[in-house]
């Protein structure tokens, strides 16, 4: 994410109906997985959201899942309209991204950065063994690109934060926060930048860009080359596909931007998404540091038709029990992503827990499908609050001082309820009730946990600046850092309440295929999902 830190056809009339899923469903996973409790009855609640949601009389037990068949309205009129509370929340989240309307540049478009043969493509030696020196990056645009930072106060954007910005813009239009003219200006500026931004090794967007100039930044956050992140790219690709489907007038421009990317090396031979760093003789490849989002990121590549597998979870003789639920453990526990609330929540909000592959309920992490993983993380956090009196909403989050990146987890590195930094060190005093996790749990579950979390987080925002990351478990103090991650997620949760799954059914790829061979040994995404103009 950072160097020192680590969507749809015509309108929906009336309120989206909700369905309930008893969490007594078996959690499909390792042998002898415990069941979550079952509910005995449901009743109506009135809470921080609008009235009409369902709640169990034994409340921690019921999950509500919005039906997949719900489609979305892209017009300005919502029926029913957002409640006063929802509107205040949505406006605060959008405030992080808004700024002044992003007027498109009037200067002629620049030529996209050339794709250069190098050792970055298709394995250790490159498809053609290319040895050409990389071309110098294009001169950054004279007009600022309108990028929003990953973290407020840091002039750095990543491809994940650009995905957040794109998601927020699309959802702001869906929710009636901006009009068509504002949408057009903002999408034009962002997509035009993606069509001309310098690419790392001529292959994929760099890990870090200056929000002021659009220039590439190195790992020291000075102008330079940092390499690329396949996971961050996945987030961007998901929302580029959604934007192209919902706003087809932009489809050809988005197709042009995506057509620049070479995906030869995004996956390692052992089936892991990769990170490319700048080495002395070209890119140095390594598996992404496990962040828990690999399975979600894969959906971005599949959205554009690329046949790419989910990260491989081989059989393991080891497992650990966390408060009655069993999770498999790899022999190298540091190679596993942390179990947190937000990875399965993204899958639920955007895809209704269905992967874009031929098998929709694939195992994503912890030996479970995303739906079962969401049930597990809710059940465990609800149980912890019931038994220990600790409101719990674990997710990764950002701070404005060292350590900048924190992972609040249910399980990581073989330890339950641990809080870690990217290098694996433990920071238990920094456990946070995450705003993202609270909204993620409330999106799918009723009961004491969701209600308590929303009471604790519903006012954690500045109406003119956006949402804070959360409040600390031990002291209740605010973590007032603001990020694109949390503010885009809040908009996703509010939009999901209104529209159901955010990824349009019509954007689901009909078939997945291999990358296409391009010039200079490049590998292009199969762009047939959006026909050329």
Share of the chain above pLDDT 90, in %: 63
Q: How many CB atoms lie within 10 A of CB 74?
A: 18
pLDDT computed for residue 314 by the predictor: 65
Question: Across the beta sheet with 478-479, what order do the strands follow?
Answer: 432-434, 470-472, 478-479
pLDDT computed for residue 496 by the predictor: 98
Q: Is the pTM of this model over 0.95?
A: no
**Domain limits at 247?**
19-529
pLDDT computed for residue 528 by the predictor: 66
* Domain annotation covers residue 356: yes
pLDDT computed for residue 143 by the predictor: 55
C-alpha distance across the termini of the chain, in Å:
34
Q: What is the mean pLDDT of the chain?
A: 81
Q: HSE on the CB side for 221, CA within 13 Å?
A: 14
Share of the chain above pLDDT 70, in %: 75
Range of lowest pLDDT (367-371, 393-397, 407-411, 512-516): 512-516
* Domain annotation covers residue 12: no
pLDDT in tens, 82-123: 999 999 999 999 999 997 544 454 444 444 444 333 333 333
44 pLDDT above the threshold of 90: no
* Domain annotation covers residue 4: no
* Domain annotation covers residue 444: yes
* Domain annotation covers residue 14: no
* Domain annotation covers residue 6: no
pLDDT computed for residue 336 by the predictor: 81
24 pLDDT above the threshold of 90: no
pLDDT in tens, 120-163: 333 333 333 333 444 444 444 445 689 999 999 999 999 999 99
DSSP states along 318-336: EEEEETTEEEEE-SSGGGS
DSSP states along 150-171: SBTT--EE-HHHHHHHHHHHHH
Please check whether residue 372 is in contact with residue 29, taking contact to mean a CB–CB distance below 8 angstroms. Answer: yes
- CATH of residue 292: 1.50.10.140
- Helices (DSSP H) in 76-217: which residue ranges? 84-98, 159-174, 180-196
- Site of tokens 């997945």: 512
pLDDT computed for residue 21 by the predictor: 34
Pairwise CA distance, residues 333 & 340, whole Å: 16
How many distinct structural domains can be found in the chain? Answer: 1
pLDDT in tens, 277-295: 998 888 999 988 778 999 9
* Domain annotation covers residue 108: yes
* Domain annotation covers residue 3: no
Pairwise CA distance, residues 504 & 72, whole Å: 8
Please check whether residue 16 is in contact with residue 500, taking contact to mean a CB–CB distance below 8 angstroms. Answer: yes
Give the residue from 405, 398, 401, 397 showing the smallest Cα distance to 421.
Answer: 405
Q: Provide the pLDDT confidence category of residue 361 given band limits of 50, 70 and 90.
A: confident
Pairwise CA distance, residues 424 & 422, whole Å: 5
Q: What is the 3-state secondary structure (H, E, C) of 416-455?
A: ECCEECCCCCECHHHCEEEHHHHHHHHHHECCHHHHHHHH
pLDDT in tens, 218-231: 999 999 999 999 99
27 pLDDT above the threshold of 70: no
Pairwise CA distance, residues 392 & 413, whole Å: 19
């Amino acid at each position: 994410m950072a160097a020192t830190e680590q969507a749809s056809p015509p309108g929906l009339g009336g309120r989206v109906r909700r369905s309930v899923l008893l969490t007594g469903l078996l959690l499909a996973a390792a042998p002898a997985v415990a069941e979550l409790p079952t509910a005995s009855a449901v009743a109506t609640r009135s809470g921080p959201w609008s009235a009409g949601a369902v709640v169990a009389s034994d409340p921690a037990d019921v999950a509500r899942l919005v039906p997949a068949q719900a489609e979305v309205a892209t017009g300005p009129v919502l029926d029913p309209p957002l409640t006063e509370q929802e509107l205040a929340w949505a406006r605060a989240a959008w405030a992080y991204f808004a700024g002044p309307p992003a007027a498109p540049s009037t200067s002629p478009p620049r030529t996209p950065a050339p794709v250069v043969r190098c050792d970055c493509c298709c394995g250790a030696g490159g498809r053609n063994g290319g040895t050409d020196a990389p071309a110098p990056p294009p001169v950054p645009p004279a007009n600022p690109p309108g990028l929003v930072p990953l973290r407020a106060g840091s002039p750095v954007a990543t491809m994940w934060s650009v995905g957040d910005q794109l998601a927020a813009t699309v959802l702001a239009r869906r929710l009636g926060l901006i009009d068509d003219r504002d949408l057009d200006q903002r999408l034009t500026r962002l997509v035009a930048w993606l069509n001309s931004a310098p690419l790392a090794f001529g292959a994929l967007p760099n890990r870090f860009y200056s929000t002021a100039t659009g220039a590439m930044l190195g790992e020291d956050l000075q102008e330079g080359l940092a390499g690329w992140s396949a996971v961050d790219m996945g987030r961007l690709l998901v929302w580029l596909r959604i934007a192209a489907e919902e706003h087809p007038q932009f489809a050809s421009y988005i197709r042009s931007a995506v057509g620049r990317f070479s995906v030869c090396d995004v996956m390692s031979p052992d089936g892991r998404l990769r990170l490319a760093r700048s080495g002395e003789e070209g890119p140095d490849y390594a598996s992404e540091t496990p962040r828990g989002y690999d399975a979600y990121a894969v959906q971005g590549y599949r959205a554009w038709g690329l046949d790419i597998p989910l990260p491989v979870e081989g059989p393991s003789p080891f497992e650990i029990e966390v408060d009655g639920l069993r999770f498999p453990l790899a022999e190298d526990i540091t190679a596993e992503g942390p179990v947190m609330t937000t990875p399965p929540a993204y899958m639920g909000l955007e895809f209704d827990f269905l992967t874009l592959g031929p098998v929709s309920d694939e195992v994503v992490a912890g030996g479970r499908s995303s739906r079962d993983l969401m049930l597990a993380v809710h059940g465990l956090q609800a149980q912890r609050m019931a038994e220990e009196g600790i409101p719990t909403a674990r997710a990764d989050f950002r701070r404005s001082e060292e350590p900048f990146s924190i992972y609040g987890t249910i399980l990581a590195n073989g330890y339950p309820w641990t809080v870690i930094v990217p290098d694996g060190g433990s920071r238990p005093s920094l456990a946070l009730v995450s705003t993202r996790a609270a909204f993620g749990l409330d999106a799918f579950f009723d009961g004491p946990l969701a209600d308590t979390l929303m009471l604790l987080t519903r006012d954690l925002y500045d109406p003119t600046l956006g949402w804070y990351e959360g409040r600390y478990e031990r002291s209740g103090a605010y973590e007032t850092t603001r990020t694109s991650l949390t503010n885009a997620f809040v908009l996703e949760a509010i939009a999901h309440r209104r529209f159901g799954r955010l990824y349009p059914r019509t954007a689901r790829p009909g078939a997945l295929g291999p990358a296409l061979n391009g010039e200079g040994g490049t590998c292009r995404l199969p762009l047939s999902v959006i026909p050329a103009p």
